[in-house]
Amino acid sequence: MNRLILSLVVLVAFAVSSTGTVAVAQDHGHADHAEGVDHDHAAHAEEADSDHAGHDHAEGADHDHATHAEEADADHAGHDHADHTGHDHADHAESKEFKAGDFIIHHIADAHDIHLFGDVHIPLPVILYIEGHGLKVFMSSALEGHGHGDRHYDASEGVSYTMHAEDVVDADGVALASAGSISAAFNGQKLSVWDVSITKSVFGMLMILSIMIWMFGSIASQYKKNPGSAPKGMANALEPLILFIRDEIAKPSIGDKADKFMPFLLTSFFFIFFCNLLGLVPFLGGFNITGTIGVTIVLATLVFLLTNLNGNKHYWGHIMWPPGVPLPVKLILVPIEVFGIIMKPTVLMIRLTANISAGHIIILAFSSLIFIFGNGGEAIGAGTGMGVFSTLFMIFMYGLELLVAFLQAFVFTLLAAIYFGDATHEPAHH
């Protein structure tokens, strides 16, 4: 059990370090539009009052105040307000146009804060190492901005930070910054930034790490206190899964050396399974940990290292110089086998990322249909009808996603065990 916990810590540590700067800016509503409307109305009112007062006093008492008021009101209503309404609200309507693609990517991507609902966000620490300025730490709530645009933070030491909402390229098409990344500048000069922030995926992995250490630590202490007794509570719930992995995956695939790889197999199975389940909890930030490419890269890399570092002479002999194969065929077969060493863990990575992300994308796509058919509230009947259909389909998809959460953890563990078995298999002696 100690080896299991140790392997879990190592796995999460590598996964945390791999997440990098994959984050997107969160939408904080349309407060900027509201501010713009209030400002325009206030400015217009001041201008109207100023013109009115100046005209009255300049013309004298003989001027008809009632007539002037009517003219001013008519002018205000007929011209300025019409222009304001027709222009500002038209622009706002265009900016408010629903884009399903942006909506889906926004919810499955990593972020520097956790969006619960509406404008409720949980900020996370932004940790940056800036060459020449040292380590900088602040909360993501310090980044100011609304909507889907860039967010900015001007620190007191003169360094300004920008979280980019979109990819930034120069005139030659060279990428300067990716969407969700944070850049820094000092007196207008761009600085080199290393981002090691606690993003949403990192926070989720640390939470899963804490839960798994507590769970397996409790199970281990229970077995130590009551050796030979029937498991109870949490141990009783998890023991069938542990025995299933040992007896149905590890031993048939690896053989006598299965115990050597059991800590990693158990860790990877429960880590992937719990991460998948966390991503299905509604109103909890929309975690997509195993759909983040950095996490799956680390998992695939660990499988690659464990497979090839434990490979015996028989394993490497069949890859580098297959026995009993004509020389011309060997020249073709060896590059393919070497390429296969890399492709096996790569397939694991792509399969896990694609299958988990696909489920979230399908659910979000059917959510988007409600807004598309509703047409911004103008087609209430169509929106309501599609809402009922989408809700029923999403309930079905959630049930399917529960199956996929277990299935993907099982497939990853099974294929990893098969690779370990191939690397450690000893030839039969006749």
Same domain, 86 and 170: no
Q: How confident is the model at residue 23 (pLDDT cuts 50, 70, 90)?
A: very low
In a domain, 429, yes or no: no
Residues 188 and 204 in one domain: no
Bigger pLDDT: 98 vs 338: 338
How would residue 148 be classed by pLDDT, with cut points 50, 70 and 90?
Answer: low
User: Residue 102 falls within a domain, yes or no?
Assistant: no
Residue 24 domain flag: no
Phi, psi of 180 (to 5 degrees): 90, -15
State the pLDDT at residue 429. Answer: 55
Mean pLDDT score, 191-215 = 92
Confidence of residue 153 (pLDDT cuts 50, 70, 90): confident
Region 311-321 average pLDDT = 89
- Residue 223, pLDDT above cutoff 70: yes
Q: What is the pLDDT of residue 376?
A: 62
Share of the chain above pLDDT 70, in %: 74
In a domain, 57, yes or no: yes
pLDDT tens track for 60-113: 334 444 344 344 344 444 444 444 444 444 444 444 566 776 777 767 788 888
One domain, residues 86 and 137: no
The pLDDT of residue 306 is 95
Residues 249 and 344 in one domain: yes
| Statement: residue 19 has pLDDT above 70 | no
Q: CA-to-CA distance for 406 and 270, rounded, in angstroms?
A: 9
Average pLDDT over residues 221-231: 84
Pair (66, 135) in one structural domain? no
**Contact call for residues 159 and 130 (beta carbons, < 8 A):** yes
Answer whether residue 107 is part of any domain. no
Same domain, 54 and 139: no
Domain edge (last residue) among 175, 195, 215: 195
Backbone angles phi, psi at 151, to 5 degrees: -120, 145
What pLDDT digit, counting tens, does each position of 98-144 carry?
677 677 776 778 888 888 877 788 889 999 998 888 888 889 888 87
Does the pLDDT value for residue 183 go beyond 50?
A: yes
pTM: 0.73
User: Which of 7-21, 170-184, 274-288 is most confident?
Assistant: 274-288
The answer to whether residues 80 and 51 belong to one domain is yes
Residue 313 and residue 223 share a domain: yes
Show which of 160, 195, 230 is a domain's final residue: 195
- Where is the domain boundary, 135, 160, 195? 195
* Mean pLDDT across 132-161: 80
For residue 163, give both structure tokens: 């979280």
For the cut 80, the answer to whether the pLDDT of residue 235 exceeds it is yes
For 374-422, the pLDDT digits (tens) are 776 666 777 777 888 888 888 888 889 999 999 999 999 999 999 999 9
> Which of 90-104, 279-293, 343-357 reaches the highest mean pLDDT?
343-357
Average pLDDT value for residue range 181-185: 85
**What is the count of structural domains for the chain?**
3
In a domain, 8, yes or no: yes
Asked which of 36-40, 185-189, 204-208, 426-430 is least confident by mean pLDDT, the reply is 36-40
221 lies in a domain?
yes
Residues 276 and 297 in one domain: yes
Percent of the chain whose predicted confidence (pLDDT) is above 90 = 28
Q: Are residues 285 and 347 in the same domain?
A: yes
**Torsion, Cα of 402, 405, 406, 411 (10° steps):** 140
75 lies in which domain range? 31-95
pLDDT-derived band at 349 (thresholds 50, 70, 90) equals very high
Which two tokens mark 376?
């911004």
pLDDT value of residue 204 = 93
**Do 70 and 205 reside in the same domain of the chain?**
no
Supply the pLDDT for residue 11.
55
Count Cβ atoms below 10 Å from residue 350 Cβ, excluding itself.
13
Are 215 and 263 in a shared domain?
yes
| Residue 325 confidence (pLDDT) above 90 | no
Looking at residue 35, its pLDDT comes to 41
pLDDT of residue 96: 57
Residue 368 lies in a domain: yes
**Can you tell me the mean pLDDT for 141-167?**
78
